[in-house]
Structure 1
Amino acid sequence: PKALAVDDEPAYMTEFRQAMLARGLATRTRNAYVRDLRSCELTNSIALTRWHPDDVLHCLSLLAQDGNTPRTQARMLSS
């Protein structure tokens, strides 16, 4: 599988990708984590680097309301 495109990606996301690659994570795992982060970022419309604990809780609450399984929520939290 191919890694997701990095077009107009913020520096912190690129650094995250590089850290995952350095840890030897599989492409599918890296893609899932990046998708999770992008999705979470869209929930609050602010950069993840500016999030506070309440923003994380808000995102997790929305995931639960949308019917995501606890396993999906846990993966997104670990992303």
Structure 2
Amino acid sequence: MYIETKNGQLTQSLINGKPIVPTQDYYIATSDYLALGGDNMKFFSKGEAISTGIKLRDLFIEYFKKTSEVVPNTDIRLNFIGKK
């Protein structure tokens, strides 16, 4: 996802390089803590929660059993242009 603002106004928002379609449903994978509004993420409570039954801890353990190194993404995901 890429979000760009200029002077505090949204100017561009993309998912996989394509414009977001307001009428389309999108799925977001996140932790239970954030999905339930933790850290002021109350906007998640507007959607439907679909539990995977997988704990993040277990997901990380399985990932690191297979992959010993994390290579961070270097793409720009948030771009704030100008002042608010």
Same fold (TM over 0.5): no
Relative to the length of structure 2, the TM-score reads 0.25
Report which structure shows greater RCO (CA 8 Å, sep ≥6): 2
Higher helix fraction: Structure 1 or Structure 2? 1
Determine which structure has more spread, i.e. the larger CA radius of gyration: 2
